[in-house]
Structures are given as structure tokens and as C-alpha cells.
Amino acid sequence: MRKYFYIINVFVSILWLSYIYHQQVKIKPRNSSNIANSTITALGDNQTFILAPYYDPRGPTPSIRVLAIIHHSVRELYCWFHCIHSSSVTVRAQIELHRDRFAHPYGTADLLCTEPPNCSYHYISVYRPNATNITPLPLFEVRNRPPHTLSVNFTVCISTMYGDYNNVLQTIQSIEMYKLLGAGRVTLYVNKCHENVDKVLQYYMEEGILEVVPWPIDKFLRTSTDWYYNLKSKNQIGYYGQTATLNDCLYRNMYRSKFVFLNDIDEIILPVKLYDWGSLMENLQKQYPETSVFQTSIHSILKGEGKTTLVTREMAISFHAKNITPHVPKDSLTEDRTLWRFNVSLEQNSNKVIQEVLPIINMSDRV
Ligand SMILES: *[C@@H]1O[C@H](CO)[C@@H](O)[C@H](O)[C@H]1NC(C)=O
Ligand SMILES: *[C@@H]1O[C@H](CO)[C@@H](O)[C@H](O)[C@H]1NC(C)=O
Ligand SMILES: *[C@@H]1O[C@H](CO)[C@@H](O)[C@H](O)[C@H]1NC(C)=O
Ligand SMILES: *[C@@H]1O[C@H](CO)[C@@H](O)[C@H](O)[C@H]1NC(C)=O
Ligand SMILES: *[C@@H]1O[C@H](CO)[C@@H](O)[C@H](O)[C@H]1NC(C)=O
Ligand SMILES: *[C@@H]1O[C@H](CO)[C@@H](O)[C@H](O)[C@H]1NC(C)=O
Ligand SMILES: *[C@@H]1O[C@H](CO)[C@@H](O)[C@H](O)[C@H]1NC(C)=O
Ligand SMILES: *[C@@H]1O[C@H](CO)[C@@H](O)[C@H](O)[C@H]1NC(C)=O
């Protein structure tokens, strides 16, 4: 019996190896120098910028959801599926420009392309008819296909760190706090930051909790630090393309993480009644089993499958650290000590990291 099992095991391994072998041989595209490797790829028309295609099996037929940033006038785009065994297939994309452009000419869009039958593929290209020809078209590897397996319960998505952000202490405290609350991963989009913050990010990347996604949006479009379009500045996209990063983060983590939190580095979603995110989400899922989403904005959900649920302040609050004096008298403020229950562990953990990064930090700059 044992021998039998052993043979089966070997057989399965061989099958598996031959599968891998085939995969490796066949997925190689004709010219690998066209594979897009950046977070943002321009299609060459100044109107269409591709982030990444994600496999999406929801809906009546499986489709590819290509996350993109497009000019609002773009009406016609095609997905080109590079089939492995047969000739390529083109499919017209259904363009869904997100509503939350706040009057900017460019916005986040989903380009939905139905998967063609009888075509196995790994790469697709996106093209726009009549745009100045760029040959060869970049190839995008379709992500989430096959889906990953869940590796963490909670991921925190932090959109666009930009400018000369230099708050080392806040970066450490926020990440340590997310860890205490149950985060298994932090995905952070970085446009630019101070060299000292960069060193802290390196530390957490080595530790394994942090994934940094480069976000060079300003190479492509004039970005604003405001959310609303300003006629004078003539900026092309709001908030460093924040909604694009939030949506990208959502799909990037779709199969890797059970839950995703979307917030800024100065924000912490803090359970009030319960201790951590694990018990909070278990409780919320029981209470609101029908909540789920497709497209996200900064403070709301644009499109979802199930319901949207607002969580009461008794359950959880968004803790937001701001360096401003409130325009209200001091005695009308209430002290909130929700965070205090973590005071000892937060201080210990943060101090440990500070001790480790201190020698590599440039002290001639204020941190
Ligand atoms: C691959 O494409 C590059 C340009 O992107 C070109 O220079 C090169 O000659 C191509 N290689 C082959 C083998 O076709
Ligand atoms: C992407 O990476 C591959 C291999 O690492 C390289 O051959 C190719 O030139 C890169 N493509 C672009 C568009 O930079
Ligand atoms: C795109 O914009 C850049 C500068 O913003 C300009 O130099 C270039 O000619 C434009 N390309 C097209 C195809 O419009
Ligand atoms: C797909 O392939 C199957 C079998 O090879 C064939 O019967 C079917 O007609 C094909 N479908 C399309 C849409 O080409
Ligand atoms: C694109 O080109 C086709 C002909 O190739 C033409 O009929 C069509 O009007 C063009 N569309 C635009 C938007 O220029
Ligand atoms: C995720 O949470 C479940 C309980 O809900 C726990 O059993 C499991 O170990 C957690 N996984 C990770 C990777 O932390
Ligand atoms: C931590 O918070 C508790 C209240 O939750 C308080 O009694 C204690 O003094 C605090 N410790 C420090 C070091 O701040
Ligand atoms: C430290 O920062 C100062 C001021 O920004 C800069 O002039 C100096 O070159 C930096 N030192 C190192 C070693 O990077």
C-alpha cells in the first residue's frame, strides 16, 4: 500500500514537472523585450496609460479587467489576446471611466475585455485605433491567473507617498500599529519620499511586511495635490492619481489577502469595542454578510456587487494624525483613549525599529 502511494506520488510529481516545463517553454512571448515591466505604461498617444490587466472571473463570462488612466475623450480601445496555440484575438473593451475625476481631464478607468473562447494566453496588449503607431505594442502579463492562494488575512494599502515626505517616526509607528492590529502586508505606492523614510521602507521590505510599488505618475501627467480640478493650474489628474493606486492595490491583493484596508500613512483604522482587526472583521462579517465591491474611490465605493456598509463609531474609528490646531475651544474637545491600550507594545516595538534604523539615518535633516 505504501509503495503504491509512493508511486502515485512520483507520478504526480512528474506530471507536475512536465506541466512546469511546458509552461516555461510556451509562455515565452516572441519578443520578450516588449514585456511591460513598469507600474505605468504609456500607449504613446498621451491619452492612455495602462497599469495592469487582472483576471476577473466574476460576472456572466470571465473577463480581463485592465486598470488604466485615460483621457475622458477616449472611446475606443481593444484588448489583443496573444493566444499560445492559435492566432491572436482582438476584443473591444468596454470602457468604464470612474465617476470620481473631480473635473480633471484624466481619470481611472476599467477596460473590460471578455475572455475569448479557445484561446490560452498569458499576455495581452491594449491598443487604440488611429493612435500614432507604436510598434511593437507592449505585452502585459495578465495577473491573478491562475489566482494566487491567500497568504495573509489583512493588507493595508497606502496610496501615493509624494513630495519630500520625511516623517520617519510616523512611518514606523503606523506600520508597527498595523502589525499589532493584524496586518500581514502593507502595500505602499511611492512617488517620492525623503531619503530617511526610504531607509525605513527598506528596513520593512527586508522584514517582509512591506511591498513598495513605484508610482512615477508625474512622468506622464501633471498631477495636483488637490482633489478638485483647478482651472489655473491646468493639472491633468487629481491627488497623484490616488484612485488608480487604490484600485490597483485592491486587485493586486484580490487573491492574496482576505481583507484590504485603504488608508493613508497618517491614518489607522482602529477597532473600538474589539481588540484587533481579526475579531473586528469576524464580527462585521456576521453582521453584514452581503457587503462587497468592484471599484473604489477615496472615501466611498463606486461600484459593488453586494451592499456597502458604514461601520459605526462604536465598532471602529479612523484615527487620523494631523499637525493642525482645531478651530474649536479646547474644552469642547473629548480625549479619545482607544489607542492607549496599545501604548506599551507600540512603544516597545517602535523603539526597537528606531534603534535599528538610527545608525543609517541622516541626522543632518530633521526626522
Ligand atoms: C525585439 O524588439 C526590440 C524593440 O523593442 C527590437 O530592437 C529587437 O530587434 C526585437 N528582437 C527580435 C528578436 O525581434
Ligand atoms: C522588461 O524586462 C525584460 C526582462 O527582464 C527585458 O528584457 C525587457 O527589455 C523589459 N521591458 C521593458 C519595456 O523595459
Ligand atoms: C505627448 O505630450 C508630449 C509633451 O507633453 C509631447 O511632446 C508629445 O508630442 C505628445 N505626443 C502626442 C502623440 O501627442
Ligand atoms: C472551440 O473549440 C471547440 C473544440 O476544439 C469547438 O468545438 C468550438 O466550436 C470552438 N469554439 C469557438 C467559438 O471557436
Ligand atoms: C479611425 O480610422 C478609420 C479608418 O481607418 C476612420 O474611419 C475613423 O473615422 C477614424 N476615427 C477617428 C476617431 O479618427
Ligand atoms: C487568518 O485568520 C485566521 C482566523 O480567522 C487564522 O486561523 C489564520 O491563522 C490567519 N492567517 C494568517 C496568515 O495570519
Ligand atoms: C498606557 O495606558 C494605560 C491606560 O490604558 C495607562 O494606565 C498607562 O499609564 C499608559 N502607559 C504609558 C506608558 O503611557
Ligand atoms: C545628509 O543630509 C544633508 C542635508 O540634506 C546632505 O547635505 C548630506 O549630503 C546628507 N548626507 C548623506 C551621507 O547622505
Does the structure show a pLDDT above 50 at 312?
Answer: yes
Q: Is 278 in the pocket of ligand 6 (CB under 6 A)?
A: yes
Are 34 and 70 in a shared domain?
yes
Residue 19: which pLDDT band, with cuts at 50, 70 and 90? very low
Q: Which of 12-21, 189-198, 284-293 has the highest mean pLDDT?
A: 189-198
Q: Where are the beta strands (DSSP E) in the chain?
A: 41-42, 48-56, 63-71, 78-83, 89-92, 94-97, 106-114, 121-127, 140-141, 152-161, 185-190, 210-214, 257-263, 267-271, 295-296, 301-303, 316-320
Q: How confident is the model at residue 232 (pLDDT cuts 50, 70, 90)?
A: low
Is residue 208 a part of any domain in this protein?
Answer: yes
Do 223 and 306 fall into the same domain?
yes
At 10 the pLDDT is 31
Give the residue-averaged pLDDT of 319-324.
Answer: 64
Residue finishing a domain among 72, 107, 141: 141
Q: What is the pLDDT of residues 27-37, one digit of tens each?
A: 455 667 789 99
Instruction: Give me the residue label for grid cell 472571473.
Output: 57
Task: Establish if 271 belongs to a structural domain.
Answer: yes
**Rounded Cα–Cα distance for residues 4 and 125 (Å):** 47
98 and 178 fall within a common domain: no
Contacts of 200 (CB under 8 A, 6+ apart): 168, 171, 172, 353, 357
Whether 5 is in a domain gets the answer no
pLDDT band at 20 (very low <50, low <70, confident <90, very high): very low
Structural domain includes residue 284: yes
From 33, 50, 137, the mutation candidate for ligand 2 (largest count of ligand atoms within 8 A of CB) is 33
Q: Are residues 57 and 100 in the same domain?
A: yes
User: Is the domain of 321 the same as that of 183?
Assistant: yes
Centre of ligand 8 from the C-alpha of residue 201, in Å = 18
Q: Mean pLDDT across the chain, nearest whole number?
A: 79
Statement to judge: residues 283 and 262 lie in one domain: yes
Q: Find the 203 Cα to ligand 7 centroid distance in Å.
A: 29
**Mean per-residue pLDDT, 277-287:** 79
Q: Find out whether the beta carbon of 364 lies less than 6 Å from any atom of ligand 8.
A: yes
Residue 170 Cβ inside 6 Å of ligand 6? The answer reads no
357, part of any domain: yes
Ligand 3 binding pocket mutation candidate from 45, 46, 234 (most atoms within 8 A of CB) = 46
Q: What pLDDT does residue 6 have?
A: 32
> 195 CA to middle of ligand 7, Å?
33
Residue type for position 75 = R
pLDDT above 80: residue 82: yes
Q: Is residue 9 part of a domain?
A: no
Residues 97 and 226 placed together within one structural domain of the fold: no
Domain end: 141, 165, 183, which one? 141
What separation in Å is there between the alpha carbon of 205 and the centre of ligand 8?
23
Residues 129 and 156 in one domain: no
| Stretch among 90-104, 183-197, 209-223 having the lowest mean pLDDT | 90-104
170 and 94, same domain (yes or no): no
- Confidence at residue 80, expressed as pLDDT on a 0 to 100 scale: 93
Instruction: Choose one of 93, 112, 141: the last residue of a domain.
Output: 141
Q: What is the CATH number of the domain that holds 84?
A: 2.60.40
Report which protein residue has its CA nearest ligand 8's atom 10.
362
What percent of the chain is predicted at pLDDT more than 90?
35
Q: Is residue 1 part of a domain?
A: no
Among 82-96, 136-150, 297-311, which is the least confidently predicted range?
Answer: 297-311
Residue 328 scores a pLDDT above 80: no
Domain of residue 262, CATH code: 3.90.550
Q: Domain range holding 57?
A: 15-141
Rounded to two decimals, the pTM is 0.81
Tell me, yes or no, whether 291 and 165 share the same domain: yes
Cell numbers linked to 106: 484624466
Count the domains in the chain. 2
Residue 2 lies in a domain: no
Q: 227 and 95 share a domain?
A: no
Q: How far is the CA of 175 from the centre of ligand 4 (A)?
A: 51
For the Cβ of 339 lying below 6 angstroms from any atom of ligand 7, the answer is: no
| pLDDT value at 318 more than 70 | no
117 CA closest ligand 4 atom index: 13
pLDDT of residue 73: 92
Residues 242 and 307 in one domain: yes
**What pLDDT digit, counting tens, does each position of 174-205 carry?**
999 999 998 999 999 999 899 999 999 999 99
Measured in Å, residue 345 CA sits from the centre of ligand 7 at 11
- pLDDT tier, 69 (very low <50, low <70, confident <90, very high otherwise): very high
**Taking each helix axis from N to C terminus, what angle separates 195-207 and 343-357, rounded to the nearest 10 degrees?**
110
Give 120 or 321, the one with higher predicted confidence: 120
